[in-house]
Structure 1
């Protein structure tokens, strides 16, 4: 009811439908409930804020760790690439083929891009994609490093064999002097036609030190007929050197000698026309030209 001002006697009456009243009541109740709900959510969010902050800090640290790990993977990849190049140069220098070059033991294939299929779960977040990529790179680096380790073992064995052969090669002059007779057929110094000479005759002063042209083990030290005082050294790999007409022998049977070690002195013992060293190199028991081995 609306009462008018003074001076009038007319009263206005306004009637509202019952359902509208209920609507206002329900709307008021809903507004109060919604306000209470959001107030509860606000309180809950305020209480959870430290947890959210900790989760955010953890995520930041994880991202930093992932970035650092990715950088380490990139560095490892660069190092393995450098190692591959170095190994390849060594193989080329040693004239070696890659082990299993014709039958590669490492199978390769498949698609390069990320693809799904039966039993494959695709990454749903950026972090998961990063982790999957790094895991794939790590698997590839492990395979590459294993391949390079195998190649290095093969190369090391090859070089070790070559080093052993080089150490056994009589590459030094046993004595300095004049080569008065070479390897091969020659006129006999004793006037009996041509005969095969199985070594080098190096003429020099009596008592000049004789050195071992390579490391080995003394297998003979004593008197040997027309060779006079003779010394024989087994260098391994079927290589034996002999030194004849010595004045003095400075090593004993079974003694291990090193390259450059003094083993005797030049003499004129046995069947000889003057002081000199008769020097032989035998390969598997067959006399060969010592000049093939001398490098200096």
Structure 2
């Protein structure tokens, strides 16, 4: 009897007789090894497939996250650009108004809002995968955080800009009130026929001080008040003829003389540019013109210093 062999008898359940198979011990061991190896290979392949499936799911998740972060960055960049443009417009308007008002400039705190810092912000369309997967994800997170920071920086500056604008609006209103209350417009249309200062009188031929300017204009040309104020005189005033005198809120007094007629009375409140009378030649006058005076603190001043060019 051979101890290194095994006999296997197979008995079918149909008509044929039993089948006998004789296997050597070496063959059985080889078959067993192959079977065990096959099981191990299948197990390894199955595990590797599960790992790859998990990695693929993670990859898809990261790709979706990348697209989401990319969209967020684009939104933040757009919002930041729009807010930055508004901030720049506000600052430009602030500078222009302060320049007009001769005020010191106010500079809002500057923040780099253009999202150009590539050391912090990676470019769009990052590749996902490989050994740099974690690094790219960190870059995306950092980019979003930085964009958030930039957007918040602009938003935090907007209240200060709003306060500056409100302050400027108040200053502008005050300046408008001051300008309206200061003689700063031409009282009538025409040319200067006699300036402020010493001149030879057309009546006495002696040198005398001319306390105003003469503006030559046709009879009936409208005369407007040079600033807001209250009429303190509206009457025939000797050599000045028909005269209107107006007191203004900042210490100025204006005089309009030789009028053909006036349309105001003492005590009336008038607004800058309002018609108060018409050019004439009443009183001591050699022709149709307006004699216009400006007094500051009770003393005559050259009206040309108050008139726009």
TM-score past 0.5 threshold? yes
Q: Say if 2:225 and 2:270, in contact at 8 Å, map to a contact too.
A: no
Deviations 1:52-83 (A, max 9, x none): 89967963662353133233145236515743
Post-superposition offset of 1:289: 0.9
How do 1:249-260 residues align onto structure 2 when only pairs under 5 Å count?
A: 249-252=262-265, 253-259=267-273
Partner of 1:141: 154
Give the Cα separation in 1 of the matches to 2:260 and 2:292: 14
Partner of 2:138: 125
Q: Say if 2:95 and 2:105, in contact at 8 Å, map to a contact too.
A: no
SS across alignment from 2:147: helix
Partner of 2:224: 212
Q: Say if 1:245 and 1:268, in contact at 8 Å, map to a contact too.
A: yes
Give the Cα separation in 2 of the matches to 1:107 and 1:67: 21
Q: Say if 1:218 and 1:251, in contact at 8 Å, map to a contact too.
A: no
Post-superposition offset of 1:241: 1.7
Structure 2 gap ranges (5+):
8-21, 112-116, 121-136
Post-superposition offset of 1:161: 4.5
Q: Does 1:65 align with 2:77?
A: no
1:176 to 176, 190, 211: 190
Partner of 2:123: none
Partner of 1:121: none
How do 1:59-208 residues align onto structure 2 when only pairs under 5 Å count?
A: 59=65, 62-76=68-82, 78-80=84-86, 82-83=88-89, 86-87=92-93, 90=96, 93-94=99-100, 95-99=102-106, 125-167=138-180, 168-174=182-188, 176=190, 179-180=193-194, 182-187=195-200, 191=204, 195-202=208-215, 207-208=219-220
RMSD: 5.3
Q: Say if 1:80 and 1:145, in contact at 8 Å, map to a contact too.
A: no
Give the Cα separation in 2 of the matches to 1:176 and 1:255: 26
Post-superposition offset of 1:92: 8.2
Going from structure 1 to structure 2, the CA distance change for 1:187 and 1:55 (only over 3 Å counts) comes to same
Q: Say if 2:257 and 2:290, in contact at 8 Å, map to a contact too.
A: yes
Deviations 1:88-110 (A, max 9, x none): 762685354223x7xxx9699xx
Q: Say if 1:84 and 1:148, in contact at 8 Å, map to a contact too.
A: yes
Going from structure 1 to structure 2, the CA distance change for 1:218 and 1:263 (only over 3 Å counts) comes to farther
Q: Say if 1:251 and 1:264, in contact at 8 Å, map to a contact too.
A: no
Post-superposition offset of 1:264: 3.0
Partner of 1:286: 299
Structure 1 gap ranges (5+):
5-10, 115-123
Post-superposition offset of 1:246: 2.5
Give the Cα separation in 2 of the matches to 1:219 and 1:57: 80
Number of residue pairs matched by the alignment: 262
Give the Cα separation in 2 of the matches to 1:219 and 1:52: 86
